[in-house]
Structure formats: structure tokens, C-alpha cells
């Protein structure tokens, strides 16, 4: 972690990151969904929006987008070549090579410099203070969506330490929007904002109301500092998504009041109605059984999945296909998954950090699962889950985003063949 390598690389590339307007987003969970709400809401209001996210779900190009269009293979090859050539020169001069993430970040900045979007949404990769996205200066807004336990080997052992790392994105004079509910890290973030002379907005206590909720969407209402945002229909479900919508709308409302952007209500609502974050409680087959994928890759994500599934599918027969990375809070994730169902297929993501299917199955059984099967890989897990002999109402694939990306792609292929 650190910015010296990237600063040198960007200097050699002409500092393409300068001269653009940014909204910088950090947080343990919710970053991707907040980015999607911001992207679609701003696009609905007529703005050209660049977006940098990580990780990708299916194709690498997802990480760099402009107006929801992925960077093309040709652009990626051309700009990647420019960056790698410069890295080779750095190494040849005895300098330390930038990391893969930093190289991708450099490609993104070159791409945005060419496309010239009105606003760029930057999602941090890990933490904040030493993350490659933190090379930018003078963002319009710094957003922290949540703080919970994840990547403790890098970010710290306490929520306060993790919050301090994420607060590292805060820049002097920027608007800071925080939706962190735990008082410890929330206080750390607020203190950092005040030290930097920022306008600080804590939206964690602002209430939202959700109704007409189904697996395909919900309607959300709220009031933000005297502005009424009522009956917004969004395709993302769960109370946590209503909370993420609140964070995004708070950013939009603050920028509107600061006259950084102009907002037309019906256009904003129309844009938000198109906000879909792939792999986050996404219905990939609305039939019978209904098939859902969800990147519940850490404890907070698993808790959100538990709450959403229980609210939507009470009394329904659910099969849960799970695959988790070994370095996550596996036992805590399992505790939440067992609140959804006791019927599982344990599998393993295609990643070196995977928890093997047999080991996950043992943990599920010891935790109280009544029925656990194993599948060696995502493809086998789909075959087992979709066995015609089953009588489940709902099948949920959950866990690592590496698993979810494979399931999303493989399931689409199965549908084409059937």
C-alpha cells in the first residue's frame, strides 16, 4: 500500500488524472451499489459519468466505464500498452514497479482523460489512505458507505482502525458524506473531516421507508434536509439497498445545493429506476425455482442477505449454494446463512484463496445444517442445484464475488442450451 509508485507513473504519463471532477467512494460494503445509484441518477440528469470499480463480476472491462459502456478491448489494449511501456522504463531505471491495481488505475485515468466525463466515480479497492484511487486531489465529495470487519490483516483489528484507514480519502475542503452507524469509526471519520476543514454530513440516522418490496424491486421514500424524495422505484432490493440509495441521494442533494450539479426530479427518478448492481441479490431467473445470486462475501454482506431473504421468502423452501474465501470471517458468515435455510450445497470459488468445498461442508454441518452436499466447482454446483428432482422454491448462490461471477456466466450458458 502507498502512492509513491503511482505518483511517479502518473507524472511520466502527464498526470491525466488532473482536471477531472471526482466523487470518491470508500466503505466495507455498499460502495458498488452507491456507485450504481450515483451513475444512473446523474446520467438521468444528463451528465456524462465515468466510473472505476473493483472487482469485476464477469469481464475485466467492467472496471472502467463511461456512461455504463465498458472500456473496449481495443482501448484497453492500446492504453494498457502505454502504461506497461512506461512501467518497463521505470523498472529499467531501477525504480520499483507499480502493482497490477496501480497499473489498471493508470489505464483508467488515461481513459477518462480521453473521454472527458463530467464526473468520475472512483470506488476504492482496499481501505482508503494508501489505495491507488487516493492519488486524486480536490474531489467534489468523499463518501464513506459503511465500516465493518474485512481485510483486517491490512486495515486494522478494530472498527476504529478500519474507519481511520477509510477516512484517508478525505481531502481538505471537500464535502464528506458518511453513512457509518457504529459510533466508534463514525467519530473517527467525523474528526478527520473537521481536521481537514470539510463540510461533514452524517446521514446514518436519516430514516428511509420501503414498501412494495418484491425480489425484483422496492419503492423507497425519505427526506433529506428538507427536500422530499418520495416513491422512488428501484430494482435493487433489501433495506440495505434503501440505505445505499440514501447515501447516493445525499451526495446528489449536497452537490445540487452547492450548485455543482443541476437536478430535474423526474429525470433523476427515471435514472435511478435503471440502477442494477450485478451480483447483489440479483434475480437471474424469475421462474420456478427462482434463482438469485448474491455477493455476500463478508459478515456484513451475509447479514444483509439474511435479512432480505427472510423478509421476502418467509415459509419458502430455499436451497443455498455457498462458496467462500478462506481469509474471510467464515464462521460468522455461516451463522447468517443458517438463518436463511438448513439445506446447502457447498462449493469453492475459482480463486487460490478458496475454502475447499469439503471443509466448508464440515463447517456447515458442525454449525447445524441439516443437509449439505458438495460440488467441486461452480459448474457442478449449478448442475446439482438445478437437478429436476428438487422441489425448492428459491435457489440462492451466495458468497465470494469470484463464485458469483462464474455462476452468472455459466447459468446464462445453461439457459441458452436448454
**CA atoms of 81 and 75, how far apart (whole Å):** 10
Placement of cell 451480483 in the chain: 279
Of 168, 113, 117, 145, give the one whose Cα is nearest residue 37. 145
Question: What is the percentage of the chain residues whose pLDDT exceeds 90?
Answer: 90
Placement of cell 444512473 in the chain: 40
What nine digits make up the cell of 193?
A: 473531516
Of 216, 212, 239, 397, give the one whose Cα is nearest residue 318. 397
> Residue 180 pLDDT > 80, yes or no?
yes
Contact 297, 400 (CB under 8 A): yes
Which pLDDT score is estimated for 288? 93
> Residue 47 pLDDT > 70, yes or no?
yes
Q: Which helix (H) or strand (E) holds 368?
A: none
Question: What is the pairing mode between strands 69-70 and 208-214?
Answer: unpaired
Which pLDDT score is estimated for 417? 64
Average pLDDT over residues 120-143: 93
Question: What pLDDT band is residue 414 in, cutting at 50, 70 and 90?
Answer: confident
Average pLDDT over residues 350-369: 96
* C-alpha distance from residue 132 to each of 24, 67, 110, 305, 357 (Å): 12, 22, 14, 30, 34
Enumerate domains of the chain plus CATH numbers: 4-272 (3.40.1190.10), 282-417 (3.90.190.20)
pLDDT in tens, 305-336: 999 999 999 999 999 999 999 999 999 999 99
CA 57, 63, 69, 73 torsion: positive or negative?
A: negative
Strands (E), 19-114: 22-26, 49-52, 64-66, 69-70
**CA atoms of 231 and 211, how far apart (whole Å):** 9
What nine digits make up the cell of 19?
A: 482536471
Average pLDDT over residues 190-195: 96
Of 113, 115, 31, 37, give the one whose Cα is nearest residue 70. 115
**CA atoms of 361 and 228, how far apart (whole Å):** 48
Contact 157, 87 (CB under 8 A): no
As beta bridge partners, residue 229 has 222
Helices first, then strands: H and E counts in the chain: 14, 17
SS3 33: helix
Which pLDDT score is estimated for 254? 97
Which pLDDT score is estimated for 151? 61
Average pLDDT over residues 76-86: 98
Average pLDDT over residues 65-70: 98
> Residue 107 pLDDT > 70, yes or no?
yes
**CA atoms of 240 and 407, how far apart (whole Å):** 23
Maximum Cα interatomic distance, the chain, rounded to a whole number of Å? 65
* 26 contacts: CB under 8 Å, gap ≥ 6: 123, 124, 127, 128, 131, 142, 143, 144, 145, 166, 169
Average pLDDT over residues 378-391: 94
Which pLDDT score is estimated for 153? 59
Contact 104, 128 (CB under 8 A): no
> Residue 118 pLDDT > 90, yes or no?
yes
Of 72-86, 142-156, 284-298, give the lowest mean pLDDT range: 142-156
As beta bridge partners, residue 293 has 282, 397
Which letter does DSSP use for residue 132 in this model?
G
Contact 22, 33 (CB under 8 A): no
pLDDT in tens, 222-272: 999 999 999 999 999 999 999 999 999 999 999 999 999 999 999 999 999
Q: What are phi and psi of 304, to 5 degrees?
A: -65, -40
Mean model confidence pLDDT for the chain: 95
Contact 293, 397 (CB under 8 A): yes
Question: What pLDDT band is residue 126 in, cutting at 50, 70 and 90?
Answer: confident
Average pLDDT over residues 125-133: 88
Question: What pLDDT band is residue 412 in, cutting at 50, 70 and 90?
Answer: confident
DSSP assignment of 188-237 equals HHHHHHHHTT-EEEE-TT--EEEEEEETTEEEEEEEETTEEEEEEEES--
Average pLDDT over residues 43-68: 96
As beta bridge partners, residue 354 has 325
* 27 contacts: CB under 8 Å, gap ≥ 6: 34, 124, 143, 144, 145, 146, 147, 166, 179, 180
pLDDT in tens, 8-31: 999 999 999 999 999 999 998 899
Of 63, 172, 189, give the one whose Cα is nearest residue 122. 63
Contact 21, 119 (CB under 8 A): yes
Amino acid at each position: 500500500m502507498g502512492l509513491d509508485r503511482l505518483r511517479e507513473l502518473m507524472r511520466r504519463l502527464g498526470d491525466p488524472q488532473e482536471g477531472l471532477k471526482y466523487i470518491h467512494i470508500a466503505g466495507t460494503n455498499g460502495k458498488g451499489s452507491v456507485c450504481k445509484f450515483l451513475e444512473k441518477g446523474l446520467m438521468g440528469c444528463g451528465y456524462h459519468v465515468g466510473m472505476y470499480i473493483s472487482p469485476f463480476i464477469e469481464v475485466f472491462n467492467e472496471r472502467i466505464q463511461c456512461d455504463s459502456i465498458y472500456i473496449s478491448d481495443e482501448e484497453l489494449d492500446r492504453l494498457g500498452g502505454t502504461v506497461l511501456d512506461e512501467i518497463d522504463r521505470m523498472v529499467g531505471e531501477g525504480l520499483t514497479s507499480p502493482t497490477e491495481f496501480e497499473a489498471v488505475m493508470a489505464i483508467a485515468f488515461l481513459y477518462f482523460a480521453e473521454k472527458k466525463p463530467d464526473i468520475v466515480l472512483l470506488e476504492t479497492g482496499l481501505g482508503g489512505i494508501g489505495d491507488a484511487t487516493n492519488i486524486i486531489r480536490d474531489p467534489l465529495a468523499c463518501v464513506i458507505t459503511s465500516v465493518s470487519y474485512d481485510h483486517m490483516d491490512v486495515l486494522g483489528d478494530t472498527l476504529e482502525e478500519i474507519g481511520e484507514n477509510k477516512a484517508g480519502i478525505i481531502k481538505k475542503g471537500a464535502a464528506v458524506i458518511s453513512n457509518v452507524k457504529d459510533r466508534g469509526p463514525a467519530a473517527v471519520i467525523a474528526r478527520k473531516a473537521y481536521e481537514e476543514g470539510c463540510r461533514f454530513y452524517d446521514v446514518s440516522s436519516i430514516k428511509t421507508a420501503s414498501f412494495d418490496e418484491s425480489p425484483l424491486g422496492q419503492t423507497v421514500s425519505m427526506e433529506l434536509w428538507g427536500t422530499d424524495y418520495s416513491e422512488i422505484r428501484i430494482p435493487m432490493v433489501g433495506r440495505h439497498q434503501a440505505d445505499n440509495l440514501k447515501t447516493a441521494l445525499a451526495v446528489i442533494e449536497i452537490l445540487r445545493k452547492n450548485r455543482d450539479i443541476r437536478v430535474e426530479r423526474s429525470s433523476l427518478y427515471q435514472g435511478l429506476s435503471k440502477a442494477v448492481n450485478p451480483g447483489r441479490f440479483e434475480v437471474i431467473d424469475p421462474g420456478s425455482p427462482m434463482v438469485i445470486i448474491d455477493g455476500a462475501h463478508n459478515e456484513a454482506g451475509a447479514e444483509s442477505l439474511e435479512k432480505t431473504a427472510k423478509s421476502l421468502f418467509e415459509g419458502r423452501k430455499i436451497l443455498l449454494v455457498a462458496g467462500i474465501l478462506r481469509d474471510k470471517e467464515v464462521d460468522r458468515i455461516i451463522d447468517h446463512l443458517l438463518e436463511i435455510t438448513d439445506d446447502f450445497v457447498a462449493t469453492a470459488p475459482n480463486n487460490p484463496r478458496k475454502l475447499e468445498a469439503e471443509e466448508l461442508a464440515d463447517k456447515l454441518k458442525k454449525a447445524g445444517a441439516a443437509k449439505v452436499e458438495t460440488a467441486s466447482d461452480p459448474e457442478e454446483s449449478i448442475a446439482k442445484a438445478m437437478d429436476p428432482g428438487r422441489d425448492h422454491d428459491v435457489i440462492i448462490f451466495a458468497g465470494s464475488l469470484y463464485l458469483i461471477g462464474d455462476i452468472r456466466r455459466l447459468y446464462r450458458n445453461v439457459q441458452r442450451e436448454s
